[in-house]
Every structure is written in C-alpha cells, then in structure tokens.
Structure 1
Amino acid sequence: MQLHIILVSPARPENVGAAARAMKTMGFDSLRIVNSQAHLQPEAGWVAHGSGEILQQATHFDSLESALSDIDFAIATTARSRARFHYYSTPQQLFEQLQEKQQWVNQVALIFGREDSGLTNDELALADLLTGVPMKADYPSLNLGQAVMVYCYQLSALLHDFSAPEPERAFSGQLAALRKRFDTLLQRLDVAGDEKLRDWIHQRLGGVEQRDTAMLHTLLHDIEKKIGE
C-alpha cells in the first residue's frame, strides 16, 4: 500500500514545509499539491528543515479530481461542523480500516483542505471516507502541519506491517465499481435525485471490508437480475 498526502490549495508555505517535515519524520514521502505553488517558496524549505526533497519531488495538480485519478481509496480530513454528514472515522479508527485494506487496496490518498476553509462539499464528495480529529472545540483547531503530523504518526505503523500480504490487483477497483453499481441502481429505481441517500451510501461504503464488498456485489447482482425480470 502506497499512501499519498494531498494538500489542497495551501496558502502558507510554512505550513507546507511543516507538513513535509512531519511526513519525513514518520516515514512518508509522496506529497501532492493541488492548485498552489506554496511548496516552491523559500519559506517552505526553511521550515521543512531536512525534508526538502519531499517538497522538490512534490507533484502539482490543477484540481483534486486529477490528483485522485490513480487513487484506489481516498480519505478526506474534515472538521465535524463542516461535514455534510457526520459519518467519519477518528485517526485510530482510520488506522484499523487501512490495516484491513492493505490486503486489497494499492494506492491510498489522505487529503487535507485549505487552512481557512477546509475542503468544499464537492471535494468531500470525491472521497471514499471522511476522517476528523476529535477536539473539545472546533476553534482553536489544528493547523495544517499539526494535522498532517497527527495522521502520519497514527498511520506510520502501516509502513512496518510486513505481515500483510501484497494487495491483489483484482481487488483494487472493487469499491469504485460498487459505487457505480449503486448509482445505476438508484437511477433504475428513479431515486437518483435523492442526494442525501446517495451521499449516505457513498460515505458508508468507504468503511466496508473487502469481504463485504464481495457480498454487496453479489446482492446487487441479485437485485439487478430481479429488476430485469
């Protein structure tokens, strides 16, 4: 499993430098930047302090959608008050979910939003799972560098879990296929306009295990067959 850190439109180069430093400290090295050149500013390098290669090798994308084009499983960080629905995992729960997904997911992205406004609802909708750090109050909240460190620390054990078997390529597209089949089913049932139902399904699918996706595919097959009759 390869984990990529994605920063969406970061404004302050110091925050990007702090994120790079947190990544290297915990063993992560793949950084993607969306719609920002903050990582190229001198201030980012000053704060990165020994993590300059992560900034130099960072990949830039014009949109979050393009940054996720090769990703099998996307996780978006959000504050509870900003989430459209409140189905999200804590960092500890996220570790457990990714530990299971090591067996069938190859490319994973952890997405962090803007310093002042986070991720938009449209951007959150691109994720398979939402996650947030429980806090006593929404403000003061963690800054970008601190948030990246919390998650890199919590997930760093994944890098050393050599007991997990190599992911099976055949499984990597199961979740995306499941989403598409549910969308098609909602259209056939003439309820595709129910955004609340669709969003609920998509967000809950992000937490299922591989064996559950296989059973859901079987169930959808039976439903599709019955509707076809």
Structure 2
Amino acid sequence: MIKVILVHPKYGGNVGSVARVMKNFGFKELRIVGDRKIINDEAKMMAVHAKDILEKAKFYETFDSAIEDLDFIIATSGARGGDRNLKRVPITPRELAEKIKEVRGNIGLVFGREDDGLYNEELDKCDLLVSIPTSEEYPIMNLSHAVAVILYELYISKVGNKFLDINIREASKEDKELLIKKFNEFIDKKDIPEHKKELCKIIFKRLVNRAFITGKEAWTLMSAFK
C-alpha cells in the first residue's frame, strides 16, 4: 500500500491538487507533515471531487513520526547529484514503477517543500530517490504536477492497457488485402500516368499496413472506393 507524504507543504491549492491526482490514479492515503490549517478553502476548491482524501488526511508533527510504520520509503527531488553527492543519485519514475513491483509492505512516497524540497537529513532516512527528467531550462516542477507524473507511472505500470480494452476489431489481413484491391481498382480507372498509378498503389499499401486500422475503418474506405 502506497502512502503519499507531503513534508511541510506551503500552499493549500497544491495540497488540494495532490488529493485530486491521487483520486485520478487510485491512491487513497495522504499524510502531511505540518499544520492542519493547510486544508483551507483553496485546498478544498482544488481537490474538486477528492475532498474525501483531504478529510481523511493524517497529520504528523515530525518527518520521523510520518514514516515510522513504513517498510520502504521513496524520496522525490528535482535536485539531482552525482559522484560528489551520492545521496541525490536518482532513478526515474518509470524505473521506480518497475522496481516497486518487488517491494512488499507499506510504502511511503515522500514529496518535499515547494521551495526547499527535502533536506539531506530527510533523504538519509529514505531508501530510494526518484527524480523526474525535465528541461534544464526550468527543471523544478510544481508539487502537484510532480505527484501526478509519478503516480501516473505507477498506475499505468499496474493496469497496463486495460483501460483501452474497448470493443474494436482490428482489420484482418483479408480486410486489408480487399481494401488495397479496391483502391487499386479505383486508381486504375483514373486518367493519370501509369507511373503515378503504381506509386499511388505502393504508398497506399504502406499506409494501410502501418496504420493499424480497424475493420470498420477498412470497410468504410472500401465503400468509398466502390
């Protein structure tokens, strides 16, 4: 079970937006290190239909108390390190989505302050660091946007393409062959040079084979060429 932990957030609007994206991707438990006053009118407005997550949010006075019952703790940061700062050598959200499948127990996903992020002493208490690849021109993301990106990767890794499993039949090999045949017959009847006819046939065949069209789309095009 993944718990989203916000460490001393400064803006109620961000907290409300975090609750909203948690609801979007099926995450339920929000922990906040800080004052309950952060759940203000702006937070409730930004949460929209995720006010229940704000109402059930758990508050803690210290970072240690917020993580003491967790089995695995993941820190997030926009500041990345290297050989001189091994504490800030991160993995990407997509890599996290794969690694987290092997983790059992209660997991904490920790997000730092909007201005200063997580302090080094807080990072020391975490098991893993995640950072979102961004443009060097403006690398630091808004808190709720960063939460959205990471929760999306965790969610899509879990559900795969199930949400796209709708009742659409892909065009069969026979559908495609018949479509190409009807197109070729259509082109043969046109008053254009032979070399252009052949080129049109080749291009159309490539387009059909590359497009992953549905059966319905293939038969609609056939009707037009008829």
Alignment partner, residue 22 of structure 1: 21
User: Aligned letter for 1:37?
Assistant: R
* Aligned AA (1:64): F
Tell me the SS of whatever aligns to 2:16: helix
Q: Which of the residues 82, 87, 90 maps onto 1:88?
A: 90
Structure 1 residue runs of 4+, over 4 Å off? Answer: 158-161
Identity of aligned residues (%): 38
The residue identity in structure 1 corresponding to 2:128 is L
Which one is further off, 83-92 or 122-131?
83-92
**Partner of residue 45, structure 1:** 44
Query: CA–CA distance in 2 between the matches of 1:63 and 1:138?
Result: 34
- Tell me if structure 2 keeps the 8 A contact 1:38–1:44: no
Cα distance, 1:157 vs. partner? Answer: 3.8
Distance in 2 of aligned mates of 1:126 and 1:157: 28
Q: Is the 2:81–2:89 contact (alpha carbons within 8 Å) kept by the matching residues of 1?
A: no
Q: In the aligned structure 2, how far is the partner of 1:10 from the partner of 1:110?
A: 14
TM-superposed deviation, 1:141: 2.0
| Counterpart Cα distance in 2 of 1:117 and 1:152 | 22
**Is the contact between residue 81 and residue 138 of structure 1 (CA under 8 Å) also seen in structure 2?**
no
Unaligned runs of 5+ in 1: 162-229
Structure 2 residue 11 is the aligned partner of structure 1 residue 12:
yes
Q: Which residue of 2 aligns with 1:143?
A: 142
Aligned to 1:33: 32
Q: Which amino acid aligns with 2:94?
A: Q
Q: Do the aligned partners of 1:88 and 1:130 also contact (CA within 8 Å) in 2? A: yes
Label 1:70 to 1:76 Cα distance change in 2 as closer, same or farther (>3 A): same
Secondary structure of 1:150's aligned partner = helix
Q: What pairs with 1:84-163 in structure 2 (closer than 5 Å)?
A: 84-85=85-86, 86-101=88-103, 105-137=104-136, 139-157=138-156, 160=159
Residues 109-133 of structure 1: CA deviation (Å, up to 9, x unaligned): 0000000010000111110001100
Return the alpha-carbon distance in structure 1 between the equivalents of residues 61 and 30 of structure 2. 14
Q: TM-score, normalising length from structure 2?
A: 0.65
**Matching residue of 2:55:** 56
TM alignment of 1:194-205, pairs within 5 A:
none
- Structure 1 contact 94–131 (Cα < 8 Å) conserved: yes
Distance of 2:139 and 2:123 partners within structure 1: 22
How many Å apart are 1:138 and its aligned residue? 6.6
Q: TM-score, normalised by structure 1?
A: 0.64
Aligned-partner Cα distance in 2 for 1:90–1:119: 17
Q: Which has the higher contact order (CA 8 A, sep 6+)?
A: 1
Contact 2:31/2:59, CA 8 A, preserved across alignment: yes
Q: Quick one: structure 1 residues 12 and 138, their matched pair in 2 at CA, closer, same or farther if it must change by over 3 Å?
A: farther
Q: Distance in 2 between matches of 1:52 and 1:26?
A: 15
Aligned to 2:66: 67
Distance 1:53 1:16 in 2: 13
Deviation at 1:80, TM superposition (A): 3.1
Task: Report the 3-state secondary structure (helix = DSSP H, G, I; strand = E; otherwise coil) of the residue aligned with 1:89.
Answer: coil
Q: For the residues of structure 1 that align with 2:37 and 2:96, how far apart are their CA atoms? A: 28
* Structure 2: 5+ residue stretches without partners: 161-226
Which amino acid letter does the alignment assign opposite residue 70 of structure 2?
Answer: I
